[in-house]
Amino acid sequence: MTTETINNDTSTKLQSNLKDAIEKKKFAITCEIGPPKGADDKEIRETGEILRGLADGINVTDLQSSVMRLGSLATCHILKEMGLDPIFQVTCRDRNRLALQSDLLSAHVMGIRNVLALTGDYTTTGDDPQSKPVFDLDSVQLLWAIKRLEEGYDMAGKELTVKPSFFKGAVVNPGADTEASYELQIAKMQKKIDQGAQFFQTQAVFDADVFERFMERISKMNMNVPVLIGIILLKSHKMANYMNKFVPGVFVPEPIIKKMEETEDKVPMCLEIAAELINKVKPICAGAHIQALGWESHVPSLIKKLGLS
Amino acid sequence: MILTEQKPIEEILEKLNGENKIFILNCGGCPEGADTGGIKVINYLKEELEKKGKKITGSVSIDFLCQKALLRSRLRTRKKEIEESDSILILSCGLGVQTSAAVISKICHPALNTITFGGITGMWQGTERCATCGDCVLDYTGGICPYTTCPKELLNLGCAGQSNGKCETDPERDCGWELIYNRLKSIGQLDKLKVFIPPRDHSKMLPSAKLRKTNLWALDEEVV
């Protein structure tokens, strides 16, 4: 009886819009929802509606920047119920291996099929700097653990009644600024692929040359894995200066900062900058991951500019 | 006293894979008290390694490996043997392995796992830290501890939070993995970055009451 149930369940094809889009070589678009700080689902549903039909997958951040807010799993569940395809971001900061594995099983029974495995920012970067950091696993080990769950075993080697399956993603930073950190990013990307990562989303990029060099390098190393370029919608020159100073691995070149500073009309300029970059790198990558950071309502115009749909 | 436990011989041999000339470095401090170091253990390791066709280029016992200046001066006379070795097998706590790796441009393999500090960290006077995790991985990291140099205790390479070689938690603090990368590069061991390190066994950080007691033997029991 039990065996039959297991077989039936695993024979069904993994249902993921994102996976289909990438496999069909469609230029995939993923967007992002940062859950609100409160027991509130209204904003999530509104943003979900804006992104309907535009995004192949929607990332849901997991207490981004170590700031306490509504959870990623619950938000993914809401999006799933709305008929959208969420990407469950899982960091290693707040949960040990018991909780991580359990949440992954929970995600699967809720129909969530995309997972993005991350290390997570350190606790002191957020609004609860006194909290205890967990980091029982690192992002590579998390991918390894997911692979084991998919094979029907938990990390302790105990058999699962029904095995989950996921479309597994990871992140990489093409703009790491020292030789060591750049080489470590490349080596870590390979480790993540070895442990089952099927797609990558990058840290935000503003310089097409940086991204091109990165893509050339991984292609030389035969890392033939779909990469979605990370795009942040730049709202002002102040935001650019802030990111250059405080966000590791993000570098906004001076001409772009100038464009934002000089324009009277920030929104069209922001979208023009993003569209220009995406169109430039479109031939060399599998898609774009757009982080609108509150400007989700402008994503439809951006997509229109890209001429994708 | 710092309490250590010998790594299983199979693990030691696995980590020495591909290295044929081995120099054994023994700490004459805590390991001797814990019975994990000293001439008996050196001879045992020599025998086991020779059985596998490895050549022991030499061995030396120094009190204490965690005293960097002393270590450096005592190793001067063994320079030739060390130079001709592929790697160094070290009988000491994690601090001793880290200080040795800081002064020897060779792969330094811990032969022991560090279980617990008994309130005294030997003669240690440096910046190195040992977390007494009981599952030493210094072989893979050029003798720089990823648990104590990286706040996230990342085992499989650093995160994207570093900036100009500094940690996201503190702009003054070196990124541990940046240090590890540079060390591995300087000893020609960048291939070590490819090794997947499985999740650590945190239960090893909870030494048994018996082991804890052993740690205090010098206070609890008559010596003779």
Per-residue model confidence (pLDDT) at position A302: 96
* Entry field: residues in chain A: 309
Asked if B196's CB is within 8 angstroms of A181's CB, the reply is no
Per-residue model confidence (pLDDT) at position B216: 57
Asked if B196's CB is within 8 angstroms of A138's CB, the reply is no
Q: pLDDT per residue over A95-121, tens digit each? A: 999 999 999 999 999 999 999 999 999
Per-residue model confidence (pLDDT) at position B2: 84
Asked if B168's CB is within 8 angstroms of A184's CB, the reply is no
Residues of B in contact with A187 (CB under 8 A): 157, 193-194
Q: How far apart are CA A213 and CA A175, in angstroms?
A: 10
Measured in angstroms, the CA of B193 and the nearest CA of chain A are apart by 7
Stretch A77-100: mean pLDDT? 98
Residue B98 pLDDT greater than 80, yes or no: yes
Which residue in chain B has the smallest CA separation from A138? B154
Asked if B193's CB is within 8 angstroms of A203's CB, the reply is no
Measured in angstroms, the CA of B124 and the nearest CA of chain A are apart by 28
User: B residues 134-163 near A, CB within 8 Å?
Assistant: 151-163
Q: pLDDT per residue over B175-216, tens digit each? A: 999 999 999 999 999 999 999 999 999 998 887 777 666 555
Strands B87-91 and B2-6, sheet pairing: unpaired
Which candidate from A144, A178, A194 shows the least CB-CB separation from B165?
Answer: A178
- CB A80, CB A86: distance < 8 Å: yes
Stretch A145-158: mean pLDDT? 98
Does B219 contact A at CB distance below 8 Å? no
CATH number at residue A205: 3.20.20.220
Residues of B in contact with A91 (CB under 8 A): none
Stretch B151-164: mean pLDDT? 95
- Mutate: best of B156, B170, B180, B185, partner A, most A CBs <10 A: B156
Q: How far apart are CA A90 and CA A137, in angstroms?
A: 11
Q: How far apart are CA A287 and CA A242, in angstroms?
A: 26
Which residue in chain B has the smallest CA separation from A246? B163
Range of the domain at A23: 2-306
- CB B9, CB B112: distance < 8 Å: no
**What global pTM score does this model have?**
0.92
- Residue-wise DSSP of A166-212: -EEEEEE-TT--SHHHHHHHHHHHHHHHHTT--EEEEEE---HHHHH
Domains of chain B (ranges plus CATH)?
A: 2-196 (3.40.50)
Average pLDDT, chain B: 90
Instruction: Provide the number of structural domains found in chain A.
Output: 1
Per-residue model confidence (pLDDT) at position B120: 62
Residue B113, burial from CB neighbour count under 10 angstroms (0-12, 13-18, 19+): buried
